[in-house]
Structure 1
C-alpha cells in the first residue's frame, strides 16, 4: 500500500504539471452553405507563425465544437482547419496575457469545388484527416525518437491503444490486420510491421473498417467492426531478412537459448524458430511468435494466455509455466506466399516438448451444517508433453466482391504423466475420517483433424450479401490410465485397495455448417436470415481391467466398469429478422429463432435414449448511438462424457458418476455494450454486461458417506449468471511527457442450485473487482506503471445447512523502466498478492520481485547483454482460491524461485526496437 500511495502522490504531482494555466482557443465549425450543419471530427492544426512545425492540434467533437488548451500567450499562431469534402480554412490569431482565452465563435467552411485541383501546402499537412470511412494520420506530425518503431508511432496517435501483448485498438475497435501500401505485409500480420519497421519510413497511417469481418458477421454493430491499419511508406520494403538469436546461462545449470529468423522477398516469406530452456519461461514472448513466428499470418483459431508467462496458440505450448518446474523446447517453420493471381498460401509446422515437475498443496473446505468436510491433499506430478501442429491456409480474392478461404490443420498431442497424491478428509473437530494414497500413470492423446472453409459474396446492390461456411473436425482422444490406490477409513476401521487399468477412448466428430444472407428492402428496412447446423457423432468407449495376480498383467475384464456410449444427431438454429433504421442513430432488429435438436444415445448394455426437442423464441437487437443490446436463445447438448454411466473411481474418495438420461440445456442469452472515445478530452470509457438463463442445465449432486463423495450430474432449471464491468481512462499529454490514468471494475454473479446429501439450496456467488492504474512516460527515458486490484468474493445460501463464505484478495503490480544513460536499460517489477483466506502452511502474502539490467552495443543496438534476477525475495510459490458450490478451494503450487541469468541477444537487421517493458522482460 505504501508503494501505491507513493506512486499516486508522484502521479498527482505530474498531473499538476499538465494542469498549469495556459492560453486557449475555442470555436464551432459549420457548413457555410446552410449555417446549420456542424462539422464533426474536423482537424484544427496549430502552428507558430513562421514555423512549419506543428505546435498542437485537436479534433472537433460530434457537435463541431473544439477547444485547444496549453497555448502560450503573446505568441502568434496560425490555425489550419481541415475537414473531409471541405476546403481548408486558415486564420492567424494571438493570445495576450490579459486575455489568454479566445473564442472564435462559429467558423464557416465551404465545400470543395474539385478535389483534383486542390493545392496542398506541404508545410501545412494536417495531422489527422477524418473521411467517411477512413482516418488518416500524417506520421511527420507525431514526433518519435530516432530509434522508434511503428508501434511507438501508433502509441502517439489519438484513440490508438496498444495492450501489453501488442494487440491494437483504435477508438475501442480491435485491429484485425496490418497492410503496407494497401497490400498484406507478411499476410497482414498485426505486429511484424509495428514491432520491426522504423517509424521514420512511414508517411501516413490510415485506419479503415474490416469489410471482410462485416461480411462474415453481418450483425456486427459499428462499435464491433474490427479495423485495418494501412501503413503508407515513404519507400516500400521489397526484400530483406531479420530476426534474433539468444543464449543465456545461470547457476544451478539453468539455461535458455533460441532463435527466430525471417526471410522475405517480394511476396514470399519464410519464418524459422527454435528454443529451449529450463527456467519456466516461454521460448519467445507471444508477440514474437505471432509476428516473427508467423501465427498471425496463418491465423490464430485458439489462444490461451496467463499472467505468469504461459501461453498457447492453436494448442501449441511454447514453453512457460505458472506452476511447478519446467524444461521446454520446440521448433518449427512458417511459409507464406502469394501467386500472380493474388491467391495467398500458408503452411506451417511446429513442435513443442515440455517436462514438468509439479508439487501442489490444496485445501477444500466444505460447509455441512454444524459439520465440515475438510480435504487436504499433497500432489506430486511428473509429466512429459509432446505437441505437433501442421496447418495451412488458402485465401483467394476471386474478384472485388467474392472471397474464398480454406484452412486445414492437424494437431497431435500426447501427455504422459505420473501423479502421486496423498490426501485425507477430516471433520469440523479436526478428527481424521479417512486417508488415501493414490498413484496414476496416465498416457493420453488429444488429437484433432480440422478443415475450415468460408465463402463470402457481396453483390452490386449495396447491402446485399451472402456468406457460406463449414467447420469440420474429428478428435480421437485415447487414454490409458494405470490406477493404484489404498484407502484407509478411521471412524469405521477398514481398508480398501484398487489396482486397475482404465482404457478410455473418446472420439468426437463435428460438422458445423452455416450461412447468412442479407437483403435490403428499402433504405430503412433490411431482411436477414442466419442458418447453421451441427452434425454430431461422438463415442465414449471405456474398458476397465484388474491386474491378474498370476501373470501381473491387466487382463481381467470388469464388466460393471466397462461401457460404450455413442451419441449421434444434429441440431439447427434458424434466425429470421428484420432490421429497421428508425433514425440515423437508432436501429432495431426484432427476429424469431427456431432451434431444433435430435440426439440418439446408444449403450452397449442395450439401453437407448432418443431425444427430440425444438422451440421458437423471439430475438431482439437494439442499437442507439454507442449502445448495443442483444437477446437470443439456443440449445446445448450434454457432453458425451457426462452420459457415460460407468463411475470414474480413479480417486477412491471422490467418485464421479455419469447420467445417460441427461437432457439438452435451453439457454437464453442477453448482452449489452457501450463504448465512447472523446477526442476533445482524450477520454475512453466503456460499459459491458452479459447474462444467461438456463433451463435443464447440468449441476452435480453430491452424497457424502464416511468422507467419500459421490457425484451425480442431473438437469436443473433456475440457473442464471451475469457478468459485466466498466472502464474509463484519460490521457494527459504535454511535450514529450504522457500520463494515462485508468480505473474500472468487473463483477460476476452466479445463481446455481447446490445439492449435498439431498439438502438443496441456491448458491449465490458474487465476485467484484475494482481496479485502478497509472502509466507515466517521460520522453521514453523513464516509464512508471502502477496497477492495483481488489477481488471481493462472497457466497450466500438459502438453507442454513450451508455457511456463507467471504474472502478478499489484493493484487498490486509496480513497474519501473529507466533508459538512461544511453545504451543502458534498467527495469524492475514488483507484484504483491495478499490473500485474506488464511490457512496454516499456505503463503498468504506472495511477493514477486524481478529486476534486469541491459547493455546495448554494436551498430543500431543489435547486440544486447542482459543480467536479470527472477523472484529476488524467494517467494517460490503461486496460489489460487475459488468458490465452487459450498466449497472454498485453495491451491498452492511450487515455482522455480530465485535465479540469476546472463543472456546475450543478437538482432539480425534490427530496426531499433525499444528495449524494456513487460514484453521483453524475461522473454528474449
Structure 2
C-alpha cells in the first residue's frame, strides 16, 4: 500500500549522479649533485593565504603526487633537513599539472656541540582529539592493544567492553581505516601492542556529518590506532597454546600483513576457558538459556526509532552482546581486509565465523515486597546447554568519484543457528508453605538471518558549505524455528492440582524495511550553516506462532489457539526538518526542529476485531551546545527527543508459557514512546601529567514509556483472559506515564 505511493520518490533519490574534474600535481624531487631522487620529503601546496590545500611525501625514487580540489594560483613548498628550502608559484587550471624535476641544493653549517634534553610527553591534545603516546607506557613483548590501553589515562576495559572518557567505544580504526566493522574486541584483543605508536581518542561524526561539516552532535566514541613508522609494510603474528587442569585448554593466533594501503588480518582461537576475543551478533536474542519475554526489563526488539528529528532503523550493532555467562567453549575464525584501488576506491571487508557451546547453571531467588504478596518468595534452579553457530560479513566501499562527489556502500549480513536446551525447577512459597512446584524441560532449534545495505551519495558544490547528500537503506530479517516444552506442575491450593504440559511450537518472524533521505546544507550568516532534511521510512514485520498440545487419550497434537497467533505490523514515517549550526573558535551550537508523522498498523490474522490503525504526529526538537575555552577543557550539553515504536514481539498478543508459573504475553494496544533526553559532559585533560578528568550526567523523561507490568495472583484468578493459579504471575508490556531516569 505504501510502497506504490512512494516508489517514484525513492527511485528518483537514488539516480542522481554528478561528475567533476580532479586536479593532480606531480613531480620529482632530486639531489642537485647526485641527480638521484630524495625519498621521504614532504611536499606542501598552499593557497596564496598560506592555507594548506594539499600534502604528499616522496617515494623511494623521489616522486610525489598531490590530489586536490583547489583551482587557481598557489605555492609549492619543500623543506628537508640538509637542503635549502624550495618555493615555487604554480597555477592549477587543468586536470594534471606536472612540475617536472625539482633540484634541491645542499645546505651546510658548522655547529657547536648541542645537548638537547626533552621529556617524552605522555599525551597531547589536538583540538577534540586526545593523542596518547604509546612509548610512554610499558607493555610485555607479547601484549595486545587492550593490554596497552588499560594502562592509559581515560581508557577502561571491564566485562568485555572498552570505555574512553566514560563512554563506550563504538569503533576502533587502524591508521584511520576500518577494522572488523563494529567489532571493537576483535581489534584491540588481537592487534600487537609493539606496532602501536599513538592512540587517538575522539568523537567520530557520522559519514554524512563528516562530509557536510554540519556537526549535529550525533557522534560515536572512537579510538584510532596509529602504527609506528616503518610498520606500514610489515608482517607480524603470534601463535599460542596451553593446557591445564580439569581439561581446560586454549589455543589461538593472529597474522597481520601490511603492504601500504593493503592490509590483511587473520585471527583464530579455540578454548573452553571463557576467552572470547570478539563480539557476537546475537540476532536471535538467545544466549545461554531459553529467552523468556518479560521479567521487568525493557526489550525494544525490532521496533523503529526516530531521534532528534532524524530517523534511524535498527542495525546489526543493536544486537551486539557481551561475553556469555557460564562456561563457554569457543572456536572462531576471522579475517579483515583493507585496500585502496585506483586511488579512488577504499574497500574494507571482514568475515567472522563462530562455533560455540555454552553451559550455564543459574539460581534465582526472588522476594516479593509489595503489600498484597508480602512474604512470597520464588526459587528457581536452571541448567542450560546452548550450541551456537554464527556467520557475520561486513563490508564498506567508499568511492571518491572526483573531488566533489563520493558514493558510500555499506552491506552487512549475519546468519545464526541457535539450539538451547534448558531444564529448570521452580518453587513458590509463602513463608514455609509451598504454593506451587514446577519441573520443566524446554528445547528449541532456531535460525536467524539479517541482511542490510546502506547507500550514501554525497556532492559538494563550488560554494564552500553548500552540499547535498542522498541516502537509501534496505534491510531484511528472518527468524524461524521450532521448540518443544514438557512441564510437570503442582499447585497446592485447597485442592491439589496437577498440570502436565506437552507442547510443540513452530514460529516464524519476518522483517522488511526501506528508507530514503535527502539533506541539503547552505551557508547562512558568518560562521553559520543551515540544513534541510527529509526522510521517508517503511517497515513491515510479520510474526506467526502455532502451538500444539499433545492429547494423551487421542495420541495426537491439537492446535492451541490461546498460544497461537498471526500478526502483521506496518510502520511508516515521514520526517522533515530544518537545522541551524553556529561554530567559532570556542562555541558550537546546533538547533534542530523536525516534524514527524507516523502510521502504525497491526493486523491480527486470528482475531480481526483486534486490528489497529493509528497515526501519530510529533515535533522533535534537539539542541547541542559545546564550549571549549582551551585545548584542555570543554563542556557539552545535548538535548534530544525521540519516538520509539513497539516491536512485533511486544505487540503480539500470544501467551508465552515456557515457564508455566512465570507467564508473559504481548499487548496490541501499545502506543509509540515519546522520550526527552538530556546529557551533559565536562572534560579536562592534563597531557603533561597524563591525567584526565571527566564528568558525565544524563537523564530522560517519557510520556508513554514501554515497560512491563507484572501481575502476581494471590488466589486462582483470570487476568487479561489468562488463567493464573495462586502464586503464578503474568507479565505484560504497557505504556507508562511519568517515567524518568537519571544516571552519572
In the alignment, which residue of structure 2 is the partner of 1:710? Answer: 730
Q: Is the 8 A contact 1:665 1:694 kept in 2?
A: yes
Q: Which residue of 1 aligns with 2:371?
A: 369
Match among 578, 592, 595 for residue 580 of structure 2: 578
Q: CA deviation at 1:328?
A: 2.3
Relative distance call for 1:523 and 1:237 in structure 2 (3 A) is: same
What does residue 474 of structure 1 align with? Answer: 476
2:448 pairs with 1:463: no
**Cα separation, partners in 2 of 1:479 and 1:183, compared to 1, 3 Å:** closer
In the aligned structure 2, how far is the partner of 1:562 from the partner of 1:637? 23
CA distance in 2 between partners of 1:138 and 1:322 (Å): 34
Per-residue deviation, residues 390-425 of structure 1 (Å, max 9, x unmatched) = 333322233345433222222111111221111011
Indicate how the Cα distance of structure 1 residues 377 and 525 shifts in structure 2: closer, same or farther if over 3 A, else same.
same
1:537 to 513, 537, 540: 540
| SS state at 1:420 partner | strand
Distance in 1 (alpha carbons) for counterparts of 2:146 and 2:653: 58
SS of residue in 2 equivalent to 1:368: coil
Contact persistence 2:624–2:636 (CA under 8 A): yes
Distance in 2 (CA, whole Å) between partners of 1:270 and 1:635 is 41
Aligned-partner Cα distance in 1 for 2:144–2:253 = 23
Tell me the distance in 2 between the aligned counterparts of 1:487 and 1:187: 47
1:268 correspondence with 2:262: yes
The match for 1:424 is 427
Task: Name the residue aligned to 2:743.
Answer: 723
The answer (yes or no) to whether the contact 2:137–2:151 under 8 Å persists in 1 is no
Question: For residue 385 of structure 1, what is the aligned residue in structure 2?
Answer: 388
Question: Alignment partner of 1:463: what SS?
Answer: coil
**Which of residues 230, 246, 256 is equivalent to 2:240?**
246
SS of residue in 1 equivalent to 2:246: coil
CA-CA distance at 1:440 after TM superposition: 0.9
Q: Which of these residues, 425, 438, 441, is aligned with residue 439 of structure 1?
A: 441
Instruction: Measure how far apart 1:662 and its partner are.
Output: 1.5
Return closer, same or farther for 1:641/1:366 CA change in 2, 3 Å cut-off: same
The CA distance in 2 between the partners of 1:661 and 1:591, in whole Å, is 31
Matching residue within 334, 337, 348 for 1:335? 337
1:212 shift after superposition = 7.0
- Is this contact kept in 2: 1:187–1:336, CA < 8 A? no
The equivalences for 1:569-648 within 5 A come to: 569-580=571-582, 584-604=585-605, 605-607=607-609, 608-625=611-628, 626-648=634-656
1:660 aligns with 2:668: yes
> Structure 1 residues 361 and 461, CA, compared in 2 at 3 Å: closer, same or farther?
same
After superposition, residues 483-498 of structure 1 pair within 5 angstroms as 483-492=485-494, 493-498=496-501
Deviation at 1:458, TM superposition (A): 4.1
Structure-2 change in CA distance of 1:374 and 1:530 (3 Å):
farther
Determine whether 1:218 maps to 2:218. Answer: no
* Alignment check: 8 A CA contact 1:209 1:228 kept: no
1:399 alignment partner, SS class: coil
Quick one: distance in 1 between partners of 2:217 and 2:147? Answer: 28
Indicate the SS of the match to 1:560.
Answer: helix
The correspondence of residues 745-824 of structure 1 with structure 2, limited to 5 A, is none
CA distance in 2, matches of 1:153, 1:652: 47
The answer to whether the 8 A contact 2:146-2:188 is kept is no
1:454 to 431, 453, 456: 456
* CA distance in 1 between partners of 2:592 and 2:391 (Å): 44
Alignment CA distance shift 1:449-1:553 (3 Å):
farther
The verdict on how the C-alpha distance between 1:222 and 1:372 changes in structure 2, with shifts beyond 3 A counting, is closer
1:96-123: CA deviation from partner (whole Å, max 9, x where unpaired): xxxxxxxxxxxxxxxxxx9968899997
1:521 aligns with 2:524: yes
CA–CA distance in 2 between the matches of 1:413 and 1:713?
A: 27
Q: Distance in 1 between matches of 2:199 and 2:529?
A: 34
Distance in 2 between the 1:603 and 1:678 partners?
60
Alignment deviations for residues 351-389 of structure 1 (CA, whole Å, 9 cap, x no partner): 212222222110111113172321101111122111122
Please report how far the alpha carbon of residue 330 of structure 1 lies from its aligned counterpart in structure 2 after TM superposition.
2.5
CA distance in 2, matches of 1:549, 1:153: 60
Q: Give the conservation status (yes or no) of the 8 Å contact 2:201–2:222.
A: no
| 1:573, distance to aligned residue in structure 2 (A) | 3.5
Q: Is the 8 A contact 1:172 1:675 kept in 2?
A: no
| Contact 1:666–1:697, Cα closer than 8 Å, also in 2 | yes
Q: Per the alignment, do residues 123 and 541 of structure 1 end up closer, same or farther by CA in structure 2, a change over 3 Å counting?
A: farther
Contact 1:169 1:175 in 2 (8 A): no
Q: Residues 206 and 231 of structure 1 are in contact (CA less than 8 Å); yes or no, is this contact kept in structure 2?
A: no
Do the aligned partners of residues 615 and 195 (structure 1) sit closer, same or farther apart at CA in structure 2, a change above 3 Å counting? same
Q: CA deviation at 1:562?
A: 2.1
Shift of 1:222: 12
- In structure 2, distance between residues paired with 1:400 and 1:549: 74
**Residue matched to 1:803:** none
In structure 2, the residue corresponding to 1:641 is in which secondary structure? Answer: helix
Q: CA, structure 1 residues 187+446, in 2 after alignment: closer, same or farther (shift >3 Å)? A: closer
Give the paired residue count.
582
Question: What does residue 511 of structure 1 align with?
Answer: 514
Question: How far did 1:511 drift?
Answer: 2.5
Matched with 1:649 is: 657
Q: 2:192 aligns with which of 195, 203, 210?
A: 195
Distance 1:654 1:153 in 2: 43
Q: 2:177 touches 2:338 (CA, 8 Å); kept in 1?
A: no
Q: What does 1:841-880 align with in structure 2 at a 5 Å threshold? A: none
**1:659 counterpart SS class:** coil
Residue 539 of structure 1, CA deviation:
0.8
**Partner residue in 1 for 2:250:** 256
Query: SS of the residue aligned with 1:252?
Result: helix
- What is the aligned partner in structure 1 of residue 697 from structure 2? 689
Contact 2:206 2:218 in 1 (8 A): no
Q: Distance in 1 between matches of 2:529 and 2:241?
A: 59
**Residue number among 261, 281, 287 corresponding to 2:275 in the alignment:** 281
Q: CA deviation at 1:168?
A: 9.0
- Which runs of 5 or more residues in structure 2 are unaligned? 1-49, 52-76, 86-106, 288-315, 629-633, 714-725
* Distance (Å, rounded) in 1 between the aligned partners of 2:444 and 2:561: 22
CA RMSD between the two structures: 4.6
Unaligned runs of 5+ in 1: 1-83, 86-113, 290-294, 307-312, 725-924
Higher relative contact order (CA 8 A, sep 6+): 2
SS across alignment from 1:424: strand
1:208 and 1:229 in contact (8 A); partners too: no
Name which of 565, 568, 572 aligns with 1:566.
568
Pairwise CA distance, 1:587: 4.2
SS at match of 2:400: strand
Pair 584,157 (structure 1): closer, same or farther in 2 beyond 3 Å:
farther
